Amino acid sequence: MKKVTWILVAGSILSVALAVLAFGLRAPDGPDPAESARVVRRDIGSVVKATGVVKPRIGAQVRVGSRASGVVAHLHVRIGDAVEKGQLLAELDDREPAARRDQAQAALASARAELDFAVTDLARKRALSASRVIAVEELDLAERAHAVSRQRAAEASANLALARTQLGFTRTTAPISGVVAAISIQEGETVSAGLAAPTFLTLVDLERLEVWAYVDETDIGRIQAGQSAHFTVDTYPDEPFESTVRAVYPQPEIRDNVVNYVTVLDFEAPPGRILRPEMTATVSIAIDRHPNVLAVPRGAIRREPSGTFVYRRSHEQIVKQAVGCGARDDNYWEIVEGLREGDTVVVGRVDSAVGQPK
């Protein structure tokens, strides 16, 4: 009896399994669903993609040095500090140049005293010569002494100006506003100014940056100044920065046997977004831009010898619709005739024989 019961149970389970399998394999009553997309208006344009690097503009990165030699007495900034143009950055020991300045001041005072005496003596000799009290030779000597004293005073004044300038070289100030990017000296170190001024530190103006996009030689012929572009950096991957092509450098750069040309992009970073030199940028340069045109995804466009067409949904049916195409980019194709804004088209495989999606 138990054996018969188990046979009946097993038969029931097998019947249910066969029914489920048959239901799963049975063809659906209606057409399979297919991915759809609406005809919308959007901007279309082909783009040239390239990898770039954020660089300082010319004059935005300055290596600051000293024209004087001496011991670094004070260093007033650290790496990362923001500085303003004219701000004091470092000072050298100024005792020796200050002494030379004082010496030049004393020499100038002595020269001016001699000049005052020569002026007075010349005026007296001229009066005596007019009265024929002294010989002409004495007047000539007074004229000569006055001229020499005047030149000595001018030389002493120039020496004082030089001494003051050299004293000023002991104070290093910021030539631009920016951020301290590197420091190569410390307090107490001795610097020697020779033919090349020793570098104290490097300043970078983070508000004056540009992007160098390395465009492949196959695409560089389509790039020209004034084209719009955008780029992203890893720091802000979801925020494209708008930019404009400013120039294409004529000299190539060869990387891994690939010829690239540097395309310079100008941009203005939005408030609160700070970019830094040597950041990697993913660049897209717009070519042949077509604004506000009817467009469909590229997967909706189909071709046959008689022309281009799409499958359009109409009242729960799928119909074949001939279309005229215009510009295209990586994702969309412009529709110039055959569809209206708001129409729905099928994206993906469609059985053209029956007009139903597979």
Alpha-carbon span 325 to 300, nearest angstrom: 12
Element housing 227 (H / E) = none
| b/e burial code for range 69-90 (CB count within 10 A of at least 16 → b) | bbebeebebeeeeebeeeeebb
Alpha-carbon span 128 to 120, nearest angstrom: 13
Residue 229 three-state SS: strand
What's the pLDDT at 12?
54
* Greatest extent of the chain over all pairs of C-alpha atoms, in Å: 169
Strands of the sheet containing 178-183, edge to edge, are: 61-65, 199-204, 178-183, 82-83
* Domain locations along the chain: 35-43+292-357, 48-59+206-290, 62-92+170-204, 94-169
**Please, which residues have CB within 8 angstroms of residue 209's CB and are 6 or more apart in sequence?**
54, 55, 56, 57, 60, 267, 269, 275, 277
Tens-digit pLDDT string for the chain (358 aa): 444 444 444 555 555 444 444 444 443 443 445 688 999 999 887 889 999 999 999 999 999 988 888 999 999 999 999 999 999 999 999 999 999 999 999 999 999 999 999 999 999 999 898 888 888 888 899 999 999 999 999 999 999 999 999 999 999 999 999 999 999 989 999 888 765 667 889 999 999 999 999 999 989 998 999 999 999 999 999 899 999 999 999 999 998 888 999 999 999 988 888 899 999 999 999 887 788 899 999 889 998 888 999 999 888 788 999 999 988 877 888 999 999 999 999 997 776 444 544 3
Element housing 174 (H / E) = none
Alpha-carbon span 108 to 155, nearest angstrom: 8
Q: How many residues does the chain have?
A: 358
Alpha-carbon span 326 to 45, nearest angstrom: 11
The topology (CATH level 3) of 48-59+206-290 is: Elongation Factor Tu (Ef-tu); domain 3 (2.40.30)
Alpha-carbon span 355 to 318, nearest angstrom: 6
* Amino acid, res. 229: A
Alpha-carbon span 34 to 346, nearest angstrom: 6
Of 331, 318, 342, give the one whose Cα is nearest residue 310. Answer: 318
- Answer yes or no: CATH 1.10.287 is held by domain 94-169: yes
Alpha-carbon span 74 to 60, nearest angstrom: 25
12 CA to centre of own chain: 75
- The CA–CA distances, whole Å, from 140 to 2, 65, 125 equal 154, 52, 9
Please list the residues that pair with 317 across neighbouring strands.
Answer: 314
* Amino acid, res. 14: L
Q: What is the pLDDT of residues 140-193, one digit of tens each?
A: 999 999 999 999 999 999 999 999 999 999 999 999 999 999 999 899 998 887
Q: What is the pLDDT of residues 222-273, one digit of tens each?
A: 899 999 999 999 999 989 999 999 999 999 999 888 899 999 999 998 888 8
Residues 200, 186: contact at Cβ < 8 Å? no
**Two tokens, residue 174:** 């910021």
Alpha-carbon span 240 to 229, nearest angstrom: 10
Strands of the sheet containing 88-92, edge to edge, are: 171-173, 88-92, 70-75, 190-191
Alpha-carbon span 286 to 226, nearest angstrom: 10
- Residue in the block written with tokens 């203005």: 268
- Answer yes or no: CATH 2.40.420.20 is held by domain 35-43+292-357: yes
Q: Tell whether the torsion through CA atoms of 340, 344, 347 and 353 is positive or negative.
A: negative
Alpha-carbon span 263 to 247, nearest angstrom: 6
Domain 62-92+170-204 and domain 94-169 have a common topology: no
pTM over 0.85: no
- The CA–CA distances, whole Å, from 6 to 16, 18, 217, 281, 323 equal 16, 18, 78, 71, 65
CATH class of 62-92+170-204: mainly beta
